[in-house]
Amino acid sequence: MAGSKTYYLTTPIYYVNDVPHIGHAYTTLACDVLARFMRLDGYDVKFLTGTDEHGQKVEKSAQAAGVDPQAFTDRVSQNFRDLVGVMDYSNDDFIRTTEPRHVASVQALWTRLVEAGDIYLGSYAGWYSVRDEAFYGTDELRDGPNGKKIAPTGAECEWVEEPSYFFRLSAWQDRLLAFYDANPDFILPPGKRNEVVAFVKGGLQDLSVSRTTFKWGIPVPGDDAHIMYVWLDALTNYITAVGYPQTEGGEFAKYWPADLHMVGKDILRFHAVYWPAFLMAAGLQPPKRVFAHGWWTIEGQKMSKSLGNVIAPETLVKTYGLDQTRYFLLREVPFGNDGDFSHAAMVRRINSELANDYGNLVQRVLSMIGKNCGAQVPQPGPFTEADEALLGRARALLGTLRAEIGVQAFHKALDAVWAVVGDANRYVDEQAPWALKKTDPARMATVLYVLAETIRHLAILTQPVMPAASSRILDQLALGPDARGFDRLGQGGALVPGTALPAPQGVFPRYVEEPKT
């Protein structure tokens, strides 16, 4: 695909101190849908995910488990790699920060920052949260029980004093603000952009970027007594994966700057302040966008191990189905907002929107074609105004979806798809092809053709969100792998009358509650 349009997107790399939960699944799902959409739209896509494996928290967790940190991270990283199969993600690479390619990349970036005069040796005294792997100012903390200091995230902080290398973040305040002004869509959604701008305008302190009190990390080049601050290490994964420090030719030249870093709102500051400053100081371009999405609660409560309400993605898939889970997570809440997972909401979406609206449309149209048109794509006659209106709405969907997906408004994209599903169902009721069978068979054939062609558009466009279900619908329309890209939408890829169709089968079963015993 030389010379083609490229698109590089990343998830945050997940911290290996826990098992994957619904929040991890959600972030990677959003990226997977975007990656699949762009591939179908003709882009050469690189989609990266992976695990963040260094830092004091990992070292402590490994000690508590009675294993060395590398063995600990090997085991926990595999849980995140397994999630790829559970959720049917289509990532092109999976990076681990313990890999040799990453160590070389981070040390090369450090050397560039030193050469630029943006790193100096000093000493650090201040509040540090092991859980967040983050430093906090006194003004950000509140008093907790037993004299503890508590970070805004709820994590306990401890006072740390040690020699440290510093990054001259304070020198980048004006340049960061100028960068935000010049790139208004660099941070989305807009409310999060406003938070970051306010934080930077409030003044930036130089950032401690090394530690000496533990050893599980990447050594500072030329000073093995120090290991690099885990966030400088972790953020660099995004350029490691495209071949840094090799910047001429190869994947770096092809894909960097990244089109999108998808992150949870709790790590926005690291991605939208520290990361562009590191990159610009090293003479590299910042990414084009950082999108901060919201958090999930479970049945109205915050997820927590103590409440026992943390839901594993495998449980969702086993209980409700894979495509149903993927659909619900991206349809239930405006992307960027916080959302609540509830069993009742999931069942409502499965039964109302997937089974009744979309599934029933496909099933009854294809069943009527099988029964009344010799199991072949019907031969249409002249199109009426109503026919043209429905086909027009189906053909216009791609433009709408490009615009919504382009700003990560996945919920609005699905709203637009379901508006056409609703239009098609109303068209069936208004045209009543079962009655036309007796009074005007030729008109019935035209109506069923229009509906089949509408379903073709819907199935092609829902592939990124529900790949398996969409594939089964396209199979039932006898469309091969080369007929499923967005370039086949519209009249150019229209169904060919007379094409034999297989016997239709239901795609979206209703969710039936197990009887309580």
Domain limits, the chain: 343-493
pLDDT exceeds cutoff 90 at 304: no
CATH 3.30.420.40 fits 343-493, yes or no: no
Instruction: Note whether 410 and 482 are within 8 A (CB).
Output: no
Q: What is the pLDDT of residue 306?
A: 62
Structure tokens at 459: 């199935």
DSSP code, position 214? -
- The CA distance from 310 to 20, in Å, is 10
Q: What is the pLDDT of residue 517?
A: 59
- The CA distance from 310 to 481, in Å, is 38
Instruction: Note whether 47 and 9 are within 8 A (CB).
Output: yes
Bridge partners, residue 8, by sequence: 46
Q: What is the mean pLDDT of the chain?
A: 94
- The CA distance from 154 to 172, in Å, is 29
User: Mean per-residue pLDDT for 151-169?
Assistant: 93
- The CA distance from 494 to 472, in Å, is 18
Q: What is the pLDDT of residue 324?
A: 97
Percentage of the residues of the chain whose pLDDT score is greater than 90 = 83
Q: How confident is the model at residue 340 (pLDDT cuts 50, 70, 90)?
A: confident
Q: How confident is the model at residue 337 (pLDDT cuts 50, 70, 90)?
A: confident
CB-based contacts of 313: which residues, under 8 Å, 6+ apart? 20, 21, 22, 24, 25, 83, 86, 87, 325
Q: What is the pLDDT of residue 2?
A: 44
pLDDT exceeds cutoff 90 at 130: no
DSSP track, 402-468: HHHHHTT-HHHHHHHHHHHHHHHHHHHHHH-HHHHHHH-HHHHHHHHHHHHHHHHHHHHHTTTT-HH
Q: Using one digit for the tens of pLDDT, what is the confidence trace for 480-517? A: 999 999 999 999 999 999 999 999 999 999 999 877 65
How much is the pTM? 0.93
pLDDT exceeds cutoff 80 at 193: yes
- The CA distance from 403 to 465, in Å, is 16
User: Mean per-residue pLDDT for 233-246?
Assistant: 97
pLDDT exceeds cutoff 90 at 133: no
Instruction: Note whether 204 and 172 are within 8 A (CB).
Output: yes
| Strands of the sheet with 339-341, listed across from one edge | 301-302, 296-298, 339-341
Nearest Cα neighbor of 405 from 36, 92, 12 is 36
The residue type of 153 is: T
Nearest Cα neighbor of 291 from 330, 266, 263 is 263
DSSP code, position 301? E
pLDDT exceeds cutoff 90 at 303: no
| Phi-psi label, residue 42: left if phi above 0, alpha if psi -120 to 50, beta otherwise | left
List phi, psi (to 5°) of 404: -75, -45
Q: What is the pLDDT of residue 4?
A: 79
Beta strands in 156-218 (DSSP E): 156-167, 187-188, 207-208, 210-211
CB-based contacts of 205: which residues, under 8 Å, 6+ apart? 137, 169, 170
User: Mean per-residue pLDDT for 24-28?
Assistant: 92
**Residue 194: C-alpha distances to residues 78, 177, 268, 368 (Å):** 37, 11, 12, 54
- The CA distance from 185 to 383, in Å, is 43
Look at the block and give the residue holding tokens 């062609």: 453
In this structure, how many other beta carbons lie within 10 angstroms of the beta carbon of residue 363?
A: 18
Of the listed ranges 27-31, 178-182, 333-337, 469-473, the least confidently predicted one is 333-337
| CB neighbour class for 334 (10 Å; exposed up to 12, middle 13-18, buried from 19) | middle
Q: Are strands 207-208 and 156-167 parallel, antiparallel or unpaired?
A: antiparallel
Q: What is the pLDDT of residue 1?
A: 43
Q: How confident is the model at residue 192 (pLDDT cuts 50, 70, 90)?
A: very high
Structure tokens at 481: 């792998």
Q: What is the pLDDT of residue 464?
A: 98
Long-range contacts of 401-409 (CB under 8 A, 24+ apart): 401/37, 401/461, 402/41, 405/33, 405/34, 405/37, 407/185, 407/188, 408/30, 408/34, 408/188, 408/260, 408/262, 408/291, 408/293, 408/335, 408/336, 409/334, 409/335
In this structure, how many other beta carbons lie within 10 angstroms of the beta carbon of residue 495?
A: 19
Structure tokens at 158: 């401890």
The secondary element (H helix, E strand) that includes residue 190 is helix 190-201
CB-based contacts of 235: which residues, under 8 Å, 6+ apart? 270, 271, 274, 275, 278
Q: What is the pLDDT of residue 97?
A: 97
Q: How confident is the model at residue 144 (pLDDT cuts 50, 70, 90)?
A: very high
